[in-house]
């Protein structure tokens, strides 16, 4: 796992075949990409998503008659986001040596904190739970600690890609219900513009989170395809929403969310997994499994590195390379705006291990 750590954490660097990037160099490139992405992200967050959980919504206008199922859902959303300090501190500790990633996690945490406060406000202003009830509920939540689902940075990052997308989907579907667009009999007559705006505002943040982590996984996929694909396979085979084991009455919450058409196993498969796969150049779960199986069948002789040639058939590496390049162009545009480009520009370095289709065609 040493070589997925940020730079300076590497004790022993294995010999690198001639013409290939060393793990140290790959780590440096990924770290640099994260730093640029984080700077770009922060500026954009401040410019376009600088909302406030109290002042951005007309809380007094929230309906005093929210349906019981909506109350259950809002309370669950509030409960999950309530663990923002645990999510943030654990993840920061894990990546503390990486400037781009650890500073990003602070920014991310400050956005998740707003989500917790906005959902709490929705429960409070519904008028259906007393401030005392909320205080006790929070105490109950805070008596438990959220722990990292995986011990290493790569698996946690891959997990977060799927988790952010799933969360975004939950909030977007909540928004549709609040807009009066539910086709479920028990919710179709319900609408609330305040709630619709809250859900939409938070969903936009979750989309930005998804994109940040997606770009990170793309960089890993590009420079470390084998271990990244293995991590993706491990995550999708055991995915569950964060804090599912901590939130009281999770089963009731989950059933209510499912019944409301907000989220369920089919939504995960179609609107989370498939979407993330498409964004990562992976055709399907089946093709991922089969591709990885093939790489295990290929012997990896000392210095021969045959495995690394087979792995490129498992995903659309051309697409991922294009995406990583585009990310760097976006970072470079940002750096030009500030003046970083003249002093210390972020540069895209091609991974020489990536097969070149055009060269192969020319050889044929």
112/215 with CB nearer Fe ion:
112
- 164 versus 321: smaller Cβ distance to Fe ion: 164
248 is written with which tokens? Answer: 């009281």
| Structure tokens given for 314 | 């498992």
Q: How far is residue 284 from each of residues 287, 289, 350, measured CA to CA in Å?
A: 5, 9, 26
CB 58 → Fe ion: shortest distance, Å? 21
Contact 187, 258 (CB under 8 A): no
Least distance CB 171 / Fe ion (angstroms): 8
Between 34 and 77, name the residue whose CB sits nearer to Fe ion: 77
CB 317 within 8 A of CB 282: no
Least distance in Å: CB of 213 to Fe ion?
9
Nearer to Fe ion, 86 or 206 (CB): 206
Smallest distance from Fe ion to CB 100, Å:
18
CA 311 – CA 288 distance, rounded (Å): 10
DSSP character string of 30-99: HHHHHHHHHHHHHHHHHHH----TTTTS-GGGS-TT--HHHHHHHHHHHHHHTTHHHHHHHHHHHTTT-H
Q: Which is nearer to Fe ion, 190 or 213 (CB)?
A: 213
What sections of 126-249 are H helices per DSSP?
131-142, 153-178, 193-223, 225-236
Minimum gap (Å) between residue 164 Cβ and Fe ion: 5
- Closest distance between Fe ion and the C-beta of residue 203, in Å? 9
Nearer to Fe ion, 163 or 346 (CB): 163
CA distance 322 to 342: 25
Provide the binding-site residues for Fe ion, judged by CB under 5 A.
112, 115, 164, 206, 209
- To which residue do tokens 């609408």 refer? 191
Name every residue whose Cβ is closer than 8 Å to that of residue 108 and which is 6 or more positions away in sequence.
88, 91, 209, 212
Nearer to Fe ion, 46 or 309 (CB): 46
As measured in angstroms, the least distance from the Cβ of 5 to Fe ion is: 24
Interacting residues of 214 by C-beta distance below 8 A, sequence separation 6+ = 161, 276, 279, 280
Q: Among candidates 274, 259, 225, 230, which has minimal Cα distance to 30?
A: 225
CB 125 within 8 A of CB 74: no
* 348 CB burial (10 A radius; 0-12, 13-18, 19+): middle
Q: What is the smallest separation between the CB atom of 178 and Fe ion, expressed in angstroms?
A: 17
Separation of alpha carbons 167 and 155, rounded Å: 18
Of 71 and 204, CB closest to Fe ion: 204
Q: What is the nearest approach in angstroms of Fe ion to the Cβ of residue 175?
A: 14
Which residue's CB is nearer to Fe ion, number 77 or number 220?
77
């Amino acid at each position: 796992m040493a070589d997925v750590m940020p730079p300076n954490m590497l004790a022993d660097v294995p010999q690198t075949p001639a013409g290939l990037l060393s793990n140290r160099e790959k780590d440096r490139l990924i770290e640099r990409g994260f730093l640029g992405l984080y700077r770009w992200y922060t500026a954009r967050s401040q410019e376009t998503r600088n909302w406030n959980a109290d002042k951005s919504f007309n809380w007094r206008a929230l309906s005093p008659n929210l349906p019981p199922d909506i109350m259950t859902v809002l309370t669950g959303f509030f409960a999950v986001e309530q663990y923002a300090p645990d999510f943030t501190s654990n993840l920061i500790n894990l990546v503390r040596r990486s400037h781009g990633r650890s500073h990003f996690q602070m920014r991310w945490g400050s956005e998740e904190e707003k989500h917790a406060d906005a959902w709490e406000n929705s429960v409070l202003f519904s008028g259906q739970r007393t401030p005392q009830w909320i205080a006790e509920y929070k105490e109950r939540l805070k008596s438990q600690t959220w722990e990292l689902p995986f011990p290493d940075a790569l698996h946690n990052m891959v997990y977060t890609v799927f988790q952010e997308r799933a969360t975004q989907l939950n909030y977007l579907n909540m928004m549709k219900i609040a807009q009066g667009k539910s086709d479920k009999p028990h919710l179709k007559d319900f609408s609330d513009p305040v709630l619709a705006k809250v859900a939409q505002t938070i969903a936009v943040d979750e989309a930005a989170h998804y994109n940040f982590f997606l770009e990170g996984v793309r960089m890993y996929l590009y420079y470390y395809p084998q271990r990244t694909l293995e991590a993706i396979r491990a995550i999708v085979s055991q995915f569950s929403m964060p804090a599912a084991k901590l939130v009281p009455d999770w089963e009731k919450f989950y059933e209510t969310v499912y019944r409301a058409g907000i989220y369920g196993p089919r939504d995960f498969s179609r609107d989370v997994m498939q979407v993330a796969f498409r964004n990562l150049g992976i055709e399907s779960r089946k093709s991922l499994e089969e591709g990885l199986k093939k790489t295990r069948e290929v012997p990896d002789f000392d210095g021969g590195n045959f495995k690394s040639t087979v792995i490129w058939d498992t995903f659309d590496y051309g697409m991922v390379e294009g995406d990583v390049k585009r990310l760097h162009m976006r970072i470079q545009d940002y750096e030009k705006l500030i003046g970083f480009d003249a002093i210390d520009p972020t540069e895209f370095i091609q991974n020489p291990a990536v097969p070149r289709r055009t060269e192969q065609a020319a050889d044929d």
